[in-house]
A and B are shown apart, each in its own frame.
Chain A
Amino acid sequence: MRYVLAGVAAAALAAGGAYAEPGKGNGNGKGERAATAKQDRSPSRERGTQRAERKSDRPAASRKSVESRSVEQGQPRSSERRVERGNDRGVGDRGKAQRGSGDRRIVDRVDYGRDRELLSLDNSHGLIEGCPPGLAKKNNGCMPPGQAKKYSERGPFGYSYRPSLFGLGSYGDGRYYYNDGYLLRLGSGGGISGYIPLLGGALAIGNPWPNSYAYSSVPDYYVDYYDLGGRGGYRYADNVIYRVDAEDAAIMSVAALLTGDDIRVGQPMPRGYDVYNVPYAYRDRYYDTPDAYYRYSDGYVYRVDPETQLVAAVIDLLV
């Protein structure tokens, strides 16, 4: 059964299923291990789960009736309610449909700071010490003498394997090998001193979550936004959110890839957001003006002050 979600996704890609349903996790979570920050969120969790289930019955295209929330105090700036044209705002009925609901509700998101701290826990990953599963630990690390040739130091196109090549920016430099879905770090003694499971390798669909690979919780908002289901239905590590089987923690699909950019209110927007990139359903609502511009990252829309280049507000994209 764990292959069902991936199978549906692959079939949708092949068949062009415009309305393939996003995957849903299982709400009966088990406890989490290391690097997990607990939150008191039972009531909202229940609401969130229900909301995610309802939302999954709809295609992404239909999720337009949005009441966004902002961490900013007070009412929206008048510029956000102008019926000005900007960017490449769409054609057709999208604008008409939302024009009537211009007075959007603003709710203070006082917990954005907490969400950001929670997400930041993912930045502290270190190598898993020892040998990956399948390699016996020997005197010389976990690389048995004479077996070094089994490990690849360079991959296709001549790339030397390194964590950053795989989007793993929090690991240090050094000499790495690749073997059987893992990056292996060569220690000073000549053996393998640690390892990292790789997305698509050890962290491929159908594989059990590696016991020693720490993961974090995500904010309630992400549970809703990415349709993650219950607490035990996902794992978050190294900027990837996986859906897992709540029973045996087998990986079912990749729910989201994140940039991991640490964006905070009052701080400058990080480099790499020069182009207007607000998601489709929100472009009629959040478009650049001389007073504000908007950028999307990891499920949030950020309002930026063009003058100061500082992030002025954070807007989530759920009702």
Chain B
Amino acid sequence: MMHMVKNGLAAIALASLPLVGACTKVEDDTPETATRDDGTITLAAALAAEGDMAKLRDALTQSELAGLLDGPASYTVLAPTDGAFDALGDDGKAIFTEEQRPMLIALLRDHLVPGHLTPETIAKAIVDKGGPVTMTTLGEGEVTFSQDDKAITVTMPGGAKAAITGTSIAANNGVVIPLDAVLLPAKDS
């Protein structure tokens, strides 16, 4: 017996609040993509409010990891859009079967980063370091963030690459950062 939990829907009135602080340059340059800060909602609510994340929501539900998004720990979700999942073709559908659930989880873990990252802090870290920066993931390895002409890109050790696209949402237990592609791990290590 599962009952839908419908409390808290009203809290999804997201305020487009510009961030202040050390990264004002980045935010000023791209105000339309500045992270929306809403500490009143969880990652689950943030994802539920996203219009282009239905496949990712399905993936998290099928993977049985959805509970993490309402939990006390903080995760940043590198969140491929629906179009990114569609681009995976038949193999992208195969990972949604029960038989391949471990594989789907493996894929999702590569898209989870510990803690609360925003594109603004990533951009600042790239500037501070003077080049690409790396973050560990909850999966096989780490991801590398780089600053291209206009977008921040994410790469996996195997060469898979995606760009941060659209508006990120900072929730109280993590951040949703939209990606335009799914990051597939290296074929063999």
Contacts and interface: CB of A to CB of B under 8 A. Distances in A.
A87 B67 contact: no
Interface string B1-45: 111111111011000011111110000000000010101111011
Interface string A147-165: 0000000011111101011
Given A159-B103, A271-B134, A280-B39, A226 B72 contact: yes
B74 A296 contact: yes
Given A156-B95, A160-B188, A275-B117, A201 B47 contact: no
A167 B138 contact: yes
B70 A277 contact: no
Contact of B133 (A14, A60, A275): A275
Nearest to B65: A254
Interface stretch (A19-27, A73-81, A126-134): A19-27
A5 B67 CA distance: 8
B150 interface: no
A31 interface: no
Main secondary structure of the interface of A (DSSP, over half): loop
B69 A9 contact: yes
Interface in B154-174: 170-174
B181 interface: no
A245 B82 CA distance: 35
Contacts of B2: 3-4, 7-8, 10-11
B140 A167 contact: yes
Contacts of B113: 277
B151 interface: no
Interface residues of B, number: 93
B114 A259 contact: yes
Contacts of B66: 6, 9-10, 12-13
Contacts of A275: 117, 121-122, 125, 133, 135, 145
A256 to B, nearest CB: 6
B64 A17 contact: no
A188 B137 CA distance: 33
A92 B14 CA distance: 13
B67 A295 contact: no
Interface in A170-209: 178, 180-181, 198-201, 204-205
B103 A92 contact: no
B60 to A, nearest CB: 6
Contacts of B188: 160, 162
A169 B60 CA distance: 23
Interface string B70-99: 111111100000000000100110110001
B173 A280 contact: yes
Contacts of B103: 155-156, 159, 165
Contacts, number: 293
Nearest to B171: A280
B71 A22 contact: yes
A272 interface: yes
A17 B5 contact: yes
Contact of B121 (A13, A159, A277): A277
A268 interface: no
A286 to B, nearest CB: 11
Contact of A16 (B49, B76, B137): B49
A274 B129 CA distance: 8
B69 A271 contact: no
Contact of B170 (A3, A157, A280, A299): A280
A310 B35 CA distance: 31
Contacts of A19: 7-8, 11, 42
Interface of A: 3-23, 55, 59-61, 63, 85-92, 94, 155-160, 162, 164-167, 169, 178, 180-181, 198-201, 204-205, 225-227, 239, 253-259, 261, 270-281, 283, 295-299
Given A13-B69, A275-B121, A280-B170, 19 more contacts: A6-B66, A8-B67, A10-B2, A16-B49, A18-B9, A18-B12, A86-B21, A88-B19, A92-B17, A158-B187, A165-B103, A259-B138, A272-B135, A274-B133, A275-B145, A277-B113, A277-B135, A280-B116, A280-B173
